Chains A and B, each alone.
Chain A
Amino acid sequence: MEAASTKTTEAQRQLAARFLDFWRVFRRNRMGLVGLAMLAVIVIVAVFAEVLAPYDATAPVDATAADVYRPPSAAHWLGTDDAGQDVFSNFIFGARVSLIVGFFAAFISVFIGGVLGIAAGFYGGRVENFLMRFTDVMLVIPDLPLMVVIVALTKPSLLNIIFVIGLLGWTTTARIVRSQTLAVKSRKFVLRARAIGAGNGHIIRHHILPLVMPILVVNAVLVVSLAILNESTLSFLGLGDPTALSWGQMLNYAFGRGAMSTGAWWALVAPGFGIVWVVLGLTLFGHGLEQVLNPRLEAHHLMKPRPIVRHEATGKPLLHERRGRVPDEAPILVEVKNLSISYISDGKPPARAVENVSFTLREGELMGLVGESGCGKTTLMLGLLRLLPAAGQIVDGEVWFSGRELTALTETEMEDVRWKGISIIFQGAMNALNPVRTVGDQIAEAIVKHNPLMKGAALEARVSELLDLVGISPEHKNHFPHQYSGGMRQRAMIAMALACNPQVVIADEPTTALDVMIQAQVLELLDSLRKKLGLSIIFVTHDLGVVAEMCDSVLVMYGGVTAEYSDVDTVYNLAKHPYTQELLKAFPDLTHPEKRLASIPGYPPRLDDLPAGCRFAPRCPVAFERCRVEAPAIHQLGEKHFASCHLVEENSLTTK
Chain B
Amino acid sequence: MQDYFLEVQRLKKYFAAGRPGFFNRAREHVHAVDGVDLQLKRGEVIAMVGESGCGKSTLALTLMGLEEPTEGRIVFEAKEITHASEHDRKLLRQRIQMVFQDPYESLNPTQTIEEIVAEPLDVHGLTHGKAEREARVVKALEDAGLKPASTYLPRFPHQLSGGQRQRVVIAGALVLEPHLLIADEPVSMLDVSIRAEILNLLADLRQTRQISIILITHDLGTCGYFADRIAVMYLGRIVEIGPTGEVLSNPQHPYTKALLSVVPVPNPRLRRQRLILQGETPNPIHLPSGCRFHPRCPIAVERCRAEDPAYVTVGQSHLAACWEAGKQA
A binds B: yes
Distance in Å: Cβ of B253 to nearest Cβ of chain A: 14
Chain A residues within an 8 Å CB radius of B110: 210-211
* B-contact 0/1 string along A183-196, CB 8 Å cutoff: 00001110111111
Query: Are B280 and A518 in contact, CB atoms less than 8 angstroms apart?
Result: yes
With A568-B268, A597-B225 as contacts: A542 and B191 at CB distance below 8 Å: yes
Residue of B nearest to A600 (CB): B193
Query: Are A520 and B266 in contact, CB atoms less than 8 angstroms apart?
Result: no
Assess whether A549 is interfacial by the CB under 8 Å rule. Answer: yes
Chain B residues within an 8 Å CB radius of A9: none
Within 8 A of A (CB), among B108-160: 108-111, 115, 119-120, 123-124, 130, 154
Chain B residues within an 8 Å CB radius of A44: none
State which of A202, A549, A588, A589 has its C-beta within 8 Å of the C-beta of B123.
A202
Query: Are B222 and A588 in contact, CB atoms less than 8 angstroms apart?
Result: yes
* B-contact 0/1 string along A165-194, CB 8 Å cutoff: 000000000000000000000011101111
Distance in Å: Cβ of A528 to nearest Cβ of chain B: 11
Query: Are A206 and B108 in contact, CB atoms less than 8 angstroms apart?
Result: yes
Query: Are B276 and A521 in contact, CB atoms less than 8 angstroms apart?
Result: yes
Assess whether B166 is interfacial by the CB under 8 Å rule. Answer: no
Residue of A nearest to B124 (CB): A197
Query: Are A593 and B66 in contact, CB atoms less than 8 angstroms apart?
Result: no
Distance in Å: Cβ of A493 to nearest Cβ of chain B: 16
Query: Are A517 and B105 in contact, CB atoms less than 8 angstroms apart?
Result: no
Distance in Å: Cβ of A195 to nearest Cβ of chain B: 5
Bound complex: CA A265 to CA B258 (Å): 87
Assess whether B64 is interfacial by the CB under 8 Å rule. Answer: yes
Chain A residues within an 8 Å CB radius of B120: 196-197
A-binding segment of B19-27, B38-46, B68-76, B195-203? B195-203
Within 8 A of A (CB), among B152-199: 154, 161-164, 169, 172, 176, 191-197, 199
Assess whether B274 is interfacial by the CB under 8 Å rule. Answer: yes
Query: Are A524 and B194 in contact, CB atoms less than 8 angstroms apart?
Result: no
Residue of B nearest to A196 (CB): B120
Bound complex: CA A515 to CA B49 (Å): 11
Bound complex: CA A189 to CA B196 (Å): 24
Residue of B nearest to A187 (CB): B105
Assess whether B298 is interfacial by the CB under 8 Å rule. Answer: no
Within 8 A of B (CB), among A556-600: 568-569, 572-573, 582-584, 586-591, 593, 596-600
Query: Are B93 and A590 in contact, CB atoms less than 8 angstroms apart?
Result: no
Chain A residues within an 8 Å CB radius of B194: 372, 599
Bound complex: CA A7 to CA B134 (Å): 13
Query: Are B98 and A188 in contact, CB atoms less than 8 angstroms apart?
Result: no
Chain A residues within an 8 Å CB radius of B271: 548-549
Query: Are B123 and A603 in contact, CB atoms less than 8 angstroms apart?
Result: no
Query: Are A599 and B196 in contact, CB atoms less than 8 angstroms apart?
Result: yes
Distance in Å: Cβ of A526 to nearest Cβ of chain B: 13
Chain B residues within an 8 Å CB radius of A195: 64, 66, 93, 97-98, 100
Query: Are A544 and B192 in contact, CB atoms less than 8 angstroms apart?
Result: yes
Assess whether B260 is interfacial by the CB under 8 Å rule. Answer: yes
Chain A residues within an 8 Å CB radius of B119: 193, 196, 198, 206
Distance in Å: Cβ of B288 to nearest Cβ of chain A: 17
A-binding segment of B2-10, B213-221, B304-312, B317-325? B213-221
Residue of B nearest to A579 (CB): B193
Chain A residues within an 8 Å CB radius of B244: 593
Assess whether A519 is interfacial by the CB under 8 Å rule. Answer: yes
Residue of A nearest to B187 (CB): A588
Bound complex: CA A520 to CA B274 (Å): 9
Assess whether A545 is interfacial by the CB under 8 Å rule. Answer: yes
Chain B residues within an 8 Å CB radius of A516: 51, 218-220, 259, 262-263
Bound complex: CA A202 to CA B266 (Å): 47
Bound complex: CA A593 to CA B169 (Å): 26
Query: Are B196 and A197 in contact, CB atoms less than 8 angstroms apart?
Result: no
Distance in Å: Cβ of A1 to nearest Cβ of chain B: 13
State which of B115, B172, B260, B264 has its C-beta within 8 Å of the C-beta of A543.
B264
* B-contact 0/1 string along A341-362, CB 8 Å cutoff: 0000000000000000000000
Q: Which has the most chain A C-beta neighbours within 10 Å: B94, B98, B102, B280? A: B280
Bound complex: CA A199 to CA B89 (Å): 11
Query: Are B193 and A583 in contact, CB atoms less than 8 angstroms apart?
Result: yes
Query: Are B52 and A197 in contact, CB atoms less than 8 angstroms apart?
Result: no
Bound complex: CA A546 to CA B219 (Å): 13
Bound complex: CA A655 to CA B262 (Å): 42
Bound complex: CA A517 to CA B218 (Å): 9
Bound complex: CA A14 to CA B162 (Å): 24
Assess whether A207 is interfacial by the CB under 8 Å rule. Answer: yes
Q: Which has the most chain B C-beta neighbours within 10 Å: A192, A202, A519, A542? A: A192
Bound complex: CA A487 to CA B172 (Å): 34
Chain B residues within an 8 Å CB radius of A199: 123
Assess whether A485 is interfacial by the CB under 8 Å rule. Answer: yes
Within 8 A of B (CB), among A535-551: 542-546, 548-549, 551
Bound complex: CA A518 to CA B193 (Å): 22
Query: Are A545 and B219 in contact, CB atoms less than 8 angstroms apart?
Result: no
Within 8 A of A (CB), among B76-108: 89-90, 93-94, 97-98, 100-102, 105-108
Query: Are B268 and A192 in contact, CB atoms less than 8 angstroms apart?
Result: no
Chain B residues within an 8 Å CB radius of A210: 108, 110-111
Bound complex: CA A85 to CA B309 (Å): 97
Chain A residues within an 8 Å CB radius of B268: 548-549, 551, 568-569, 572
Distance in Å: Cβ of B274 to nearest Cβ of chain A: 6
Query: Are A192 and B193 in contact, CB atoms less than 8 angstroms apart?
Result: no
Chain B residues within an 8 Å CB radius of A372: 191, 193-194
Residue of A nearest to B261 (CB): A520
Assess whether B267 is interfacial by the CB under 8 Å rule. Answer: yes
Query: Are B93 and A197 in contact, CB atoms less than 8 angstroms apart?
Result: yes
Residue of A nearest to B219 (CB): A516
Residue of B nearest to A551 (CB): B268
Assess whether B224 is interfacial by the CB under 8 Å rule. Answer: yes
With A373-B162, A515-B52, A521-B276 as contacts: A590 and B263 at CB distance below 8 Å: yes
Residue of B nearest to A3 (CB): B130
Bound complex: CA A214 to CA B218 (Å): 38
Query: Are B200 and A192 in contact, CB atoms less than 8 angstroms apart?
Result: no
* B-contact 0/1 string along A133-169, CB 8 Å cutoff: 0000000000000000000000000000000000000
Chain B residues within an 8 Å CB radius of A194: 66
Assess whether B301 is interfacial by the CB under 8 Å rule. Answer: no
Query: Are A545 and B266 in contact, CB atoms less than 8 angstroms apart?
Result: yes
Assess whether B269 is interfacial by the CB under 8 Å rule. Answer: yes
Query: Are B172 and A583 in contact, CB atoms less than 8 angstroms apart?
Result: no
Chain B residues within an 8 Å CB radius of A590: 220-221, 224, 248, 260, 263, 265
Closest 7 CB pairs of A and B: A545-B264, A593-B224, A197-B93, A597-B196, A599-B196, A520-B262, A188-B105
Q: List 7 A-B contacts (CB under 8 A).
A: A199-B123, A211-B109, A372-B193, A520-B274, A572-B268, A588-B225, A597-B199
Beyond A197-B94, A211-B108, A573-B269, 4 additional contacts (C-beta under 8 Å) are: A210-B110, A516-B259, A517-B51, A590-B260
